[in-house]
Structure 1
Amino acid sequence: MPYDCIIVGGGIAGLQAAIQLGRYSSHRVLVIDSGYGRSTLCHQYHNILGFPDGISGEDLRRLGRHEATKLGTEFVEGKAVKAAKRDELFAIQVEEGTVYSSKTLLLATGLTDRFPKLEGLLGCLGNSVYVCPDCDGYEIQDRSTVVLGAGKAGASMALILSARTDHLIYVNHDRSEVPDELMMKLCEKGIGYKEEIISRIMTEEPGHFEGVQLANGEVVRAERGFLAFGGNHVHSELAEQLGVHLLDNKHIETHPRSKMTNVENVWVAGDLGAHAEQATVAMGEGAMSAIWIHKVLSGMKTKISQL
């Protein structure tokens, strides 16, 4: 028997959607979760209502999964690798071969940030090293900060963060080209610039960033770090297999109210979509998409295109 909805992705957007759908008490819902993503890496989210002291992504996932399970949502651990439309149903195949089918589909597969494998870095994510200036620019206010990045992406991040602190150094780890215009702006803002490979993250205590050591032996000390390497991997492969329209950056633009894609009965929520990549936004999109999935499943005839 097919599910009413399959949610691919058990991160913040997917779990919020599962909770919303579960509360209708009338839908059979499956979440397919690979168990890895942005939310599994972030040790502290600091901008979420009700958690002024922060909460880890893993704790959010644990709480969300527990709540969704109580509401009847089923979970399967595995990576979804194939998606197809068969008659009126969607077929999702996981890596080990099992195929699950559903009437509707929500893709909440997110993205993976690109950054080098440096000892100590993962433990700092969300604690003292960040990726989103909107989410965590507050955390570096008037603090010495190193931007660990590549080329234009790192330079652009440093310029954005200059509104928060005057104590900035940009280390171009990839030693990739920075446009002259951006180099001039870095200089005008008094942002230090080093084009050198980072050999290690300096931490005296786990999760407490204290700077970087460069391949030439130089040590750059700072209180905070920001990652900006560009080239993040957007997990839009399943959407593409279904004929969903992708933007040039591989993100997906959805209907502003329903979050449905150009393919009928396929929704997108979270960082896969074209939006501000914040946990709170992902929650809202998860809930909104679930509301409209419920409307469709309940047999409402309103066409999304006529809203």
Structure 2
Amino acid sequence: MNYDCLIVGGGIAGLQAAIQLGRYKHKVLVLDSNDGRSVICKNYHNILGYPDGVSGPELRGLGKKHAESLGVEFVHEKVEQAEKADGGFVVSSESGNKYSGKRILLATGVMDRMPPFPELMPCLGISVYVCPDCDGYEVKDRRTLVLGSGNAGANMAITLSYWTNDLVFINHEKKPADQELLEKMREKNIEYVEETIDRVLAEDDKFKGVRLESGKEITGDRGFIAFGGNEIKSGLAKQLGAERLENKHILTDPRSKMTSVQNVWAAGDVAAHSEQVTIAMGEGAQAAIWIHKSLLQDKN
């Protein structure tokens, strides 16, 4: 089957685009590997309409149900290859299946580099966070531990000093931080610990602190992850020849969200913008509107 649009990624941007395209009565297929940021976030706090927060899985579930009610199809597939074909594009999945479409939207997202502590996972979005713009407010006046590495961790600690004066940066990987950042942390009375973390201390979704390799325990009410080196999932854009920044985010037209390649769109965290759920929603809808316009032109 040749779909009107293939959407690679069933996160927030992909789902919002799918809903919009479904309302336009287009034949749409969402290919989702179910391993994005929104899968693991237990609570988003800064979304209109959800003053008490909403989890990533809940948003995804609502979005998928909404899109399916409009005729959008979903497959659980990890796309490995994307290429141009006659009249559109063909994508190949890890399992060997191929899917074709006239248009393609890349909503593949970003994945944070997380330390290998399973105790962190239930806490994400509830008492441990990754984005200061999304959740800096959640650590307001609370003792907060930044679990990180080098400059990424130092910068996060400095950023969070806007919300709280009780901060500890634990440089788990012992990667050197720039002297300028170390001095700025001293100025802001941010405690600096350069030692490997042995274990994260948590009770269900409540972060309590860490135990260091030396056996010393450092307690805290909230945690922030800042290891740098996040994975920008833009490999398919590279295969299709779309322009990317040096940091691998995909460049798009501000008005239409189309990439530098005709009929290839990108939306959400994989694109070059501030990584926010609300922005991903907007970009997904925006891309879908222009995908619709382009499909109408084919019929004229």
Same fold (TM over 0.5): yes
SS at match of 1:43: coil
* TM-score (norm. length: structure 1): 0.96
Deviation, structure 1 residue 252: 1.0
Partner residue in 2 for 1:305: none
Aligned partners of 1:33 and 1:79 also within 8 Å? yes
Aligned partner letter, 1:4: D
Partner residue in 2 for 1:93: 92
Map 1:127-206 onto structure 2 (within 5 A): 127-203=126-202, 205-206=203-204
Equivalenced residue count is 299
Aligned partners of 1:88 and 1:103 also within 8 Å? yes
Partner residue in 2 for 1:212: 210
Distance 1:119 1:6 in 2: 34
Distance 1:218 1:259 in 2: 50
Distance 1:169 1:185 in 2: 13
The unaligned stretches of length 5 or more in structure 2 are none
Deviation, structure 1 residue 300: 7.3
Aligned partner letter, 1:236: S
The unaligned stretches of length 5 or more in structure 1 are 302-307
Distance 1:22 1:241 in 2: 27
Partner residue in 1 for 2:277: 279
Distance 2:177 2:257 in 1: 36
Distance 2:130 2:80 in 1: 27
Deviation, structure 1 residue 61: 0.5
Distance 1:75 1:295 in 2: 23
The percent of aligned pairs where both chains have the same amino acid is 58
SS at match of 2:133: helix
Instruction: Specify which of 220, 224, 233 is matched with residue 222 of structure 1.
Output: 220
Map 1:6-155 onto structure 2 (within 5 A): 6-25=6-25, 27-155=26-154
CA RMSD of aligned residues (A): 1.0
- Does residue 298 (structure 1) correspond to residue 296 (structure 2)? The answer is yes
Distance 1:188 1:240 in 2: 43
Aligned partners of 1:119 and 1:200 also within 8 Å? no
Aligned partners of 1:82 and 1:93 also within 8 Å? yes
Partner residue in 1 for 2:254: 256
Distance 1:48 1:224 in 2: 21
Flag as ranges the 4+ runs of structure 1 deviating above 2 A. none
Distance 2:140 2:255 in 1: 35
Distance 1:201 1:120 in 2: 6
Aligned partner letter, 1:66: K
SS at match of 1:216: coil
